[in-house]
C-alpha cells in the first residue's frame, strides 16, 4: 500500500511539473507572438509611410501659383537639416480641400475612424506647407484623436489602438515597453486597471507607439505625433534670449516637484541631442526661470510628459 501511495504521489508530481513547464512555454510563446505582431505592424506602417512619401515626392512639381514653403536647416550648418518641400500644385490643393470636407462630413456622421483617415491624408499633404486649410485639418484631427486615441475606447478598424490579452509573467511596465509607450499612457487609457492586480489573461487597451514631438520655434508650437502622424498640438513661449538649436533630441530627464504657498506642481522636461557635433540640452518647464528654454502650461506639459517615452520617442526641434 505504501509503495502504491508513493508511486501515485510521484506520478502526480511528475504531471504537476509537466503542467508548470507547459505553462512557462505557453507564456514564452505568447510574448513572442506579441513581439511579432508589434514588429509586423510597425514594418507595415513604415512601409506605407515610405510609399506615400515617395509617391508624393515623385508627383510634386513647382507651380507658379504654389503655396508651399521650404523647411530650412539651422543657420550656419552649411547644409539643410530638413528636406526641401516642393510647392503644392492646384490639383493637390483641390484634393486636400476635398479630403478635409469628406473628413468633416464623416466626423459629423460619427464615423470617427473613417474621418480620421481622410484628415490624416489631408494633413500629410499640408506637412511642410503653409495652407489655408492646415488650421482646420489640425482642429478636426485633435477633436477626433482625443476621442479615439486618448479616451480608452477601442474603435473597429483603428490602426493605432488594440485590445490585447496580457501574457503570462508580464507586468504593466513590460506591456508599456512592448508597445513603445509610457506606463502613464497605458494607465491613462485603462483607468480601471490597478498595476498590482494585473493578471495573465486580462484584457488591456494598448497604443502602437511611440509618440514623438515636433517643436516649431517660429510658430511656438509643439506637435505631438504618432508614427509621423499629427495627434495634438500645444503652445509654448521661449523663456531665454537664445532659442534652442534645431535638430533631433531625446527625452533625458523628467522631474516633478511640489512648490509651496499653493503654487502648482513644478514639471521639468530635459531634452538632449548631439547637434553639429556638440552636446546640447533643452529644458522645458511650466515655470519660467533663467535656466529654462521653453515654458508651457502645467496641463500641456503634464500631457506631453505622459506621452513621450525616454526610450523610444524622438523630439525634433525645427526653426
Residue 179's pLDDT is what? 93
CATH of domain 211-318: 2.40.440.10
Output 82 or 285, whichever has higher pLDDT.
Answer: 285
| Alpha-carbon span 101 to 284, nearest angstrom | 37
Q: Calculate the alpha carbon distances from 110 to 153, 156, 192 in Å.
A: 14, 13, 26
| Alpha-carbon span 124 to 206, nearest angstrom | 24
Q: Is the pLDDT of residue 118 over 50?
A: yes
Intrachain domains 161-207 and 211-318 with the same fold = no
Q: Is the pLDDT of residue 65 over 50?
A: no
Domain residue limits, the chain: 82-148, 161-207, 211-318
Q: Calculate the alpha carbon distances from 194 to 62, 199, 204, 230 in Å.
A: 55, 10, 11, 30
Mean pLDDT score across all residues of the chain: 80
pTM: 0.70
| Alpha-carbon span 291 to 10, nearest angstrom | 69
pLDDT in tens, 290-312: 889 999 999 999 999 999 999 99
In this structure, how many other beta carbons lie within 10 angstroms of the beta carbon of residue 257? 9
| Mean per-residue pLDDT, 241-253 | 90
Q: Strand 229-235 relative to strand 221-226: parallel, antiparallel, unpaired?
A: antiparallel
| Alpha-carbon span 162 to 296, nearest angstrom | 31
Q: Which CATH number, 3.10.350.10, 1.10.1270.20, 3.60.15.10, 3.30.110.60, labels domain 161-207?
A: 3.10.350.10
Contact 249, 282 (CB under 8 A): yes
pLDDT in tens, 162-177: 899 888 888 888 999 9
Q: What is the crossing angle of helices 134-148 and 90-108, to 10°?
A: 40
Amino acid at each position: 500500500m505504501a509503495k502504491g501511495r508513493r508511486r501515485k504521489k510521484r506520478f502526480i508530481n511528475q504531471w504537476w511539473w509537466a503542467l508548470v513547464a507547459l505553462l512557462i512555454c505557453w507564456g514564452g510563446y505568447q510574448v513572442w507572438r506579441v513581439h511579432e505582431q508589434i514588429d509586423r505592424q510597425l514594418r507595415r506602417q513604415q512601409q506605407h509611410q515610405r510609399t506615400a512619401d515617395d509617391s508624393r515626392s515623385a508627383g510634386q512639381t513647382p507651380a507658379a501659383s504654389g503655396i508651399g514653403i521650404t523647411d530650412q536647416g539651422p543657420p550656419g550648418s552649411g547644409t539643410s537639416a530638413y528636406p526641401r518641400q516642393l510647392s503644392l500644385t492646384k490639383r493637390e490643393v483641390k484634393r486636400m480641400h476635398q479630403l478635409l470636407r469628406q473628413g468633416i462630413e464623416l466626423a459629423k456622421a460619427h464615423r470617427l475612424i473613417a474621418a480620421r483617415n481622410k484628415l490624416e491624408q489631408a494633413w500629410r499633404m499640408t506637412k511642410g506647407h503653409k495652407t489655408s486649410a492646415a488650421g482646420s485639418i489640425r482642429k478636426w484631427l485633435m477633436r477626433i484623436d482625443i476621442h479615439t486615441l486618448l479616451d480608452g475606447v477601442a474603435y473597429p478598424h483603428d490602426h493605432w489602438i488594440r485590445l490585447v490579452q496580457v501574457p503570462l509573467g508580464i507586468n504593466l511596465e513590460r506591456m508599456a515597453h512592448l508597445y513603445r509607450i509610457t506606463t502613464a499612457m497605458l494607465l491613462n487609457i485603462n483607468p480601471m486597471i490597478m498595476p498590482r492586480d494585473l493578471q495573465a489573461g486580462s484584457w488591456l487597451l494598448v497604443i502602437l507607439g511611440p509618440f514623438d514631438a515636433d517643436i516649431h520655434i517660429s510658430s511656438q508650437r509643439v506637435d505631438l505625433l504618432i508614427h509621423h502622424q499629427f495627434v495634438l498640438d500645444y503652445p509654448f513661449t521661449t523663456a531665454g534670449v537664445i532659442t534652442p538649436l534645431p535638430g533631433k533630441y531625446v527625452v533625458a530627464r523628467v522631474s516633478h516637484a511640489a512648490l509651496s504657498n499653493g503654487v502648482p506642481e513644478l514639471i521639468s522636461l530635459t531634452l538632449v541631442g548631439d547637434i553639429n557635433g556638440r552636446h546640447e540640452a533643452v529644458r522645458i518647464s511650466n515655470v519660467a526661470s533663467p535656466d529654462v528654454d521653453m515654458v508651457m502650461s502645467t496641463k500641456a506639459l503634464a500631457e506631453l510628459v505622459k506621452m513621450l517615452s525616454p526610450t523610444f520617442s524622438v523630439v525634433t526641434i525645427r526653426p
